[in-house]
């Protein structure tokens, strides 16, 4: 649509006597009204006329020039509605889309602002919680899309690898040393952490010993360092498996410990600026929220002299700004940390750092489970592994049933090995899609039967549409047809059915869907766009037979449309981080 927005802008701008941005052209909620719209309310004051009168006047003036570019314009009440003619869509959307492949919708690399994304950030020596999956994939998706759209993106994992809990772990490792297995795994660490907490109820000396141990760690004690390093390495190895499985990457693993040598200098700086003050034995900065409201102070040093979570976040922000001079920095973190980020940003503001408004907390909601076993526990305390297992079991059951069904053609039956691989891909795709198709700020109602279904707005539904494109293209190739051989003229003459035009019109909105996703910080925008593509593809596939041996021109043209759909679905699935099974 970008091409057409620019044409309309060029024609409309000189008639308005005011600046017209590309984004001033809206997408009508109801597509029957047109592809783009311009509301005339704003002009009313300027021109001293009622909006519907302005719309009618403008439509009259614009019509001839725009029509020559394939754009019909009409006034509808206070709106100017624009409709792109099917032929123009074919020339400016379908043809480039078939040619560009998966580069479609990308902007020149690194042509836009510097954008830092921080996401995932699980805590070392604790299992990966489902809660962290949400921030992980929302962040990774936004970062991927931003990169695709030309932002200069940097991604960071702020691992929770520092804090008093390492004192406790060190004490626990010593205390239970004789009972530990030879290979200490993440599970071992989790178990002894739970156990030491139990023991603490009856033995108060553990608390003080742990505090001592952490103080030693902060002071650089070599033995404590060794223990700490071991815990971090064990955990990272485990986390990496999850990241591989979910196709998530980071430019930097800079955990909380990364800023450790910057904490004392930070405190001195705050002190000399006169904003660090004592409050009940602790060192704090008094802060307000962005809208000027009084909020609890940001504690930066506890009464025992230890640094805390917020200290490391303030240091991290300073460090990252020094390094990247970012235009934006987005923290994708659960909504229960809203106050924490207000305090951190409030501290940056108290320090008079003019870049503070560039930082934002993208707050994510929780998972809620329908499954009885899980619904009684708080969403945060369910491990990703448990949810993974649930999804994989369900997907395996579904795939087996499909495969055994009488409706499945003999030659389409899958081997056991294929079923295993595909079930895993379907399970991951389903979970990722369920998560990303929900508004990230809202809680997510997780119902495994609904999530893993081939019907409805699910991950498998999208994956299946992509697989279907692949199989059509495979069969066409075997029959000697190429999906990229039709020329523009042939496409214009052949693709005239409403289902074909509707699908092309939807494919044309891909870049807009990506921009909307970034503007709103909601991968759910891209997810719902891909559902639209899948639905329109379904209508097209039902109504328009692709392989027509008696009519090669029609076959070639429809194959081009299948190829274009495949490109959008494939790139869309990649951007969401969903696996793409070859067969299903």
Binding test (CB under 6 A) with ligand ARG, winner from 56, 121, 242, 534: 121
Q: Are 138 and 246 in contact (CB under 8 A)?
A: no
Binding of residue 160 to ligand ARG (CB under 6 A): yes
Binding of residue 258 to ligand ARG (CB under 6 A): no
Binding of residue 155 to ligand ARG (CB under 6 A): no
Q: 51 vs 122, which CB is nearer to ligand ARG? A: 122
Q: For residues 171 and 16, give the distance between their C-alpha atoms in angstroms, rounded to a whole number.
A: 73
Binding of residue 361 to ligand ARG (CB under 6 A): no
Stretch that binds ligand ARG, among 84-92, 117-125, 179-187, 260-268 (CB under 6 A): 117-125
Binding of residue 147 to ligand ARG (CB under 6 A): no
Binding of residue 320 to ligand ARG (CB under 6 A): no
Q: At what angle do helices 2-16 and 51-68 cross, to 10 degrees?
A: 130
Binding test (CB under 6 A) with ligand ARG, winner from 44, 123, 288, 548: 123
Contact map string, positions 66 to 105, toward ligand ARG, x by CB under 6 A? ----------------------------------------
Alpha-carbon dihedral of residues 131, 211, 169, 127, nearest 10 degrees?
A: 0
Q: For residues 179 and 176, give the distance between their C-alpha atoms in angstroms, rounded to a whole number.
A: 6
Q: Sign of the CA dihedral 428, 432, 437, 438?
A: positive
From the CB of 331, what's the least distance to ligand ARG, in Å? 5
Stretch that binds ligand ARG, among 119-127, 142-150, 369-377, 504-512 (CB under 6 A): 119-127
From the CB of 190, what's the least distance to ligand ARG, in Å? 14
Contact map string, positions 282 to 311, toward ligand ARG, x by CB under 6 A? ------------------------------
Q: 308 vs 333, which CB is nearer to ligand ARG? A: 333
Burial class (CB in 10 A: 0-12, 13-18, 19+), 31: middle
Q: Which of residues 380-409 bind ligand ARG (CB under 6 A)?
A: none
Q: 311 vs 567, which CB is nearer to ligand ARG? A: 311
Q: Are 177 and 140 in contact (CB under 8 A)?
A: no
277-286 per-residue burial string, b: 16 or more CB within 10 A, e: under 16: eeeeebbbbb
478: number of Cβ within 10 Å: 8
Binding test (CB under 6 A) with ligand ARG, winner from 134, 144, 147, 158: 158
CA nearest to 350, candidates 405, 425, 409, 269: 269
Q: At what angle do helices 416-436 and 552-576 cross, to 10 degrees?
A: 70
Q: 118 vs 515, which CB is nearer to ligand ARG? A: 118
Binding of residue 27 to ligand ARG (CB under 6 A): no
From the CB of 344, what's the least distance to ligand ARG, in Å? 8
Count of residues interacting with ligand ARG (CB under 6 A)? 9
Binding of residue 333 to ligand ARG (CB under 6 A): yes
SS3 call for 368: strand
Q: Where are the alpha helices (DSSP H) in 276-334?
A: 309-324
Tokens standing for residue 572: 């869309």
Q: Which of residues 517-536 bind ligand ARG (CB under 6 A)?
A: none
116-148 per-residue burial string, b: 16 or more CB within 10 A, e: under 16: bbbbbbbbbbbbbbbbbbbbbbbbbbbbbbbbb
* Tokens 């708080």 sit on residue: 378
Binding test (CB under 6 A) with ligand ARG, winner from 331, 433, 446, 464: 331
User: Contact positions toward ligand ARG, by CB under 6 A?
Assistant: 118, 121-123, 158, 160, 313, 331, 333
């Amino acid at each position: 649509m970008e091409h057409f927005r620019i044409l309309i802008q060029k024609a409309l701008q000189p008639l308005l006597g005011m600046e017209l941005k590309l984004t001033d052209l809206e997408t009508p909620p109801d597509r029957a009204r047109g592809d783009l719209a311009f509301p005339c309310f704003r002009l009313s004051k300027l021109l001293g006329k009622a909006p519907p009168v302005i719309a009618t006047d403008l439509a009259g003036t614009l019509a001839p020039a725009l029509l020559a570019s394939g754009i019909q314009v009409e006034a509808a009440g206070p709106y100017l509605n624009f409709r792109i003619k099917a032929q123009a869509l074919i020339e400016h959307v379908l043809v480039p889309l078939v040619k560009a492949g998966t580069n479609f919708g990308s902007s020149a690399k690194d042509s836009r602002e510097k954008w830092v994304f921080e996401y995932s950030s699980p805590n070392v020596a604790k299992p990966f919680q489902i809660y962290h999956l949400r921030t992980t994939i929302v962040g990774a998706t936004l970062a991927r899309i931003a990169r695709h759209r030309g932002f200069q993106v940097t991604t960071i994992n702020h691992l929770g690898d520092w804090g008093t809990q390492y004192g406790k772990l060190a004490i626990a490792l010593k205390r239970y040393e004789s009972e530990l297995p030879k290979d200490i795994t993440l599970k071992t660490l989790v178990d002894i952490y739970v156990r030491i907490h139990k023991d603490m109820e009856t033995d108060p000396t553990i608390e003080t010993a742990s505090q001592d141990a952490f103080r030693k760690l902060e002071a650089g004690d070599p033995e404590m360092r060794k223990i700490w390093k071991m815990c971090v390495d064990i955990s990272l190895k485990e986390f990496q498996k999850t990241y591989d499985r979910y196709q998530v990457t980071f430019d930097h693993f800079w955990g909380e410990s990364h800023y450790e040598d910057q904490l004392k200098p930070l405190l001195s700086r705050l002190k000399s600026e006169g904003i660090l003050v004592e409050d009940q034995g602790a060192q704090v900065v008094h802060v307000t929220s962005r809208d000027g409201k009084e909020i609890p102070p940001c504690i930066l040093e506890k009464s025992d002299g230890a640094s805390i979570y917020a200290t490391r976040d303030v240091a991290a922000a300073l460090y990252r700004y020094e390094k990247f001079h970012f235009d934006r920095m987005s923290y994708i973190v659960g909504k229960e940390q809203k106050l924490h980020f207000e305090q951190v940003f409030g501290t940056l503001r108290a320090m008079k750092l003019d870049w503070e408004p560039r930082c934002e907390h993208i707050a994510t909601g929780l998972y809620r489970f329908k499954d009885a076993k899980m619904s009684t526990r708080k969403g945060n305390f369910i491990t990703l592994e448990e949810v993974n297992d649930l999804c994989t079991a369900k997907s395996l059951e579904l795939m087996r049933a499909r495969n055994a069904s009488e409706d499945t053609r003999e030659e389409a039956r899958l081997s056991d090995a294929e079923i295993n691989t595909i079930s895993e891909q379907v399970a991951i795709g389903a979970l990722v899609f369920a998560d990303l198709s929900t508004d990230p700020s809202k809680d997510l109602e997780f119902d495994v039967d609904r999530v893993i279904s081939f019907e409805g707005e699910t991950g498998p539904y999208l994956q299946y549409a992509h697989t279907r494109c692949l199989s059509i293209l495979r069969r066409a190739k075997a029959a000697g047809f190429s999906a990229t051989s039709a020329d523009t003229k042939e496409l214009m003459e052949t693709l005239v059915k409403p289902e074909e035009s509707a699908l092309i019109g939807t494919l044309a909105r891909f870049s807009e869907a990506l921009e909307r996703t970034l503007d709103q910080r909601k991968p759910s925008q891209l997810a719902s766009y891909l559902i639209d593509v899948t639905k329109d593809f379904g209508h097209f596939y039902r109504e328009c037979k692709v392989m027509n041996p008696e009519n090669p021109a029609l076959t070639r043209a429809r194959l081009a449309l299948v190829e274009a759909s495949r490109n959008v679905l494939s790139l869309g699935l990649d951007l969401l981080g969903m696996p793409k099974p070859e067969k299903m």
